[in-house]
Amino acid sequence: MNSYSFRPPLLILAALGCCFGGSPLLNDQTSGVIGKNVTFKTTITSAKDFLTITWSFNKGSEIAPIMTSVVTTNPDNIEETSLNRITYNKTTCELQLGPLVKEDEGEYILSVVTLKGKSLSGQIDLNVLEPVTDVKISSNLSEAVELNSTVVLTCSAKGSFTYKWLNGSVPLAVDGTHIKQNAVGNELTISEVYRTDLRGPIFCVAENALESGKSAPFNLTVSYGPEQIVMTQSPTGSFLTKGSNLTFTCSAQSDPPAQLQWMFNGQAMPQKTSLNITLANVEEKHSGNYSCVAYNAKTKRFVSSQVAVVSVLGTWPRSQMQNFCLGEV
């Protein structure tokens, strides 16, 4: 905090002794957490000009005294009338209260009477918050399919708070179409989820003015693909001599990895589901059209590669082969 924006009023108050006409309290409301302490700050820097100092609690139905100090007779004589959970600062008249219970919520009143007989008083409202615990993210789905699934994440927590979502370490961007958030803020709806949306990891933060709690990291694997299928042939080229070895390799982007099926002339090749196939010592009967098909069992999508057209030529003498090729051109 910038101390310059804060200090000058205090200095003026101090110069005047205290309490420039108004309340001797620094704020008119504050918050505390159950089980923790709260201090009611004052603008008082010295209580030596005071005759009596009284703190009381307005329960709504009645005003109950908390403590009274008669400074001139015996500054140490503090009557604790109703609460034993207080610590009083004789210099500043500040009162610390705690560990807080829910019933401490209400209005606290500080009244002082100066040696000149002038009365000053101020009130401060105490809001008692529940501690934030058990911050958790739950998902409507345990698996998702890219562009098909709508994922709804729900954050739950115990205590008094508002919600915030983080994607990794940065605030999660809610655009209102792809990602929507409910009014309370504890529910995120991600439509047509994309593969990278929920790798975050995603965190939910439940926080109030005084404390915050963070969930465990959450991520969700979004199945996608197959796509960008590529089949490569080795050796390359459409014409092969009899007795050559021919290898095809197929790859596709997919999560989980795609299952492959090799096709020959539009028919599935039996038992050929590996990433590559090698045809050793090819013959004319191996001439035809080769392709591969990739299938993702989670997305139930498949995609076919381009078709490689292969012709196996007989082993002719080299000169005849050249003539044949020239004749074709």
Ligand X SMILES: *[C@@H]1O[C@H](CO)[C@@H](O)[C@H](O)[C@H]1NC(C)=O
Asked whether 112 and 24 are in contact (CB, 8 A), the reply is yes
Identify each DSSP E strand in 149-287 by its residue range: 151-158, 162-167, 170-171, 179-181, 187-190, 202-207, 212-214, 222-234, 239-241, 246-255, 259-264, 267-268, 276-279
Asked whether 298 and 143 are in contact (CB, 8 A), the reply is yes
In angstroms, the CA 79 to CA 67 distance is 5
Coil/strand/helix, residue 157: strand
Contact flag: residue 140 with ligand X (CB under 6 A): no
> 99 or 119, CB closer to ligand X?
99
Contact flag: residue 98 with ligand X (CB under 6 A): yes
Contact flag: residue 136 with ligand X (CB under 6 A): no
Q: Which residue has the tokens 């990739």?
A: 294
> 132 or 144, CB closer to ligand X?
144
Among the residue ranges 116-124, 133-141, 167-175, 320-328, the one whose residues contact ligand X (CB under 6 A): 167-175
Contact flag: residue 291 with ligand X (CB under 6 A): no
Contact flag: residue 196 with ligand X (CB under 6 A): yes
Contact flag: residue 167 with ligand X (CB under 6 A): yes
Contact flag: residue 325 with ligand X (CB under 6 A): no
Asked whether 65 and 81 are in contact (CB, 8 A), the reply is yes
Contact flag: residue 22 with ligand X (CB under 6 A): no
Residues 26-65 that bind ligand X (CB under 6 A): 37
Class of residue 321 by CB neighbours under 10 A (exposed 0-12, middle 13-18, buried 19+): middle
In angstroms, the CA 201 to CA 165 distance is 11
**Least Å distance between CB 276 and ligand X?**
13
Among the residue ranges 59-67, 73-81, 83-91, 115-123, the one whose residues contact ligand X (CB under 6 A): 83-91
Contact flag: residue 181 with ligand X (CB under 6 A): no
Kindly report whether the peptide bond that precedes residue 24 is cis, defined as omega within 30 degrees of 0.
no
Q: What is the DSSP letter of 42?
A: B
With CB under 6 A as the contact rule, the residue among 69, 244, 251, 254 that binds ligand X is 244
> 91 or 140, CB closer to ligand X?
91
Q: Which residue has the tokens 């370490």?
A: 169
**Least Å distance between CB 263 and ligand X?**
10
With CB under 6 A as the contact rule, the residue among 265, 267, 274, 315 that binds ligand X is 265
Query: Total number of residues binding ligand X (CB under 6 A)?
Result: 34
> 61 or 169, CB closer to ligand X?
169
In angstroms, the CA 90 to CA 128 distance is 25
In angstroms, the CA 266 to CA 70 distance is 102
Contact flag: residue 92 with ligand X (CB under 6 A): yes
Contact flag: residue 225 with ligand X (CB under 6 A): no
Instruction: Note the residues at the interface with ligand X (CB under 6 A).
Output: 37, 85, 87, 89, 91-92, 98, 145, 148, 167, 172-173, 179, 190, 196-197, 199-201, 217, 219, 221, 243-245, 265-266, 280, 288-289, 299-300, 307, 309
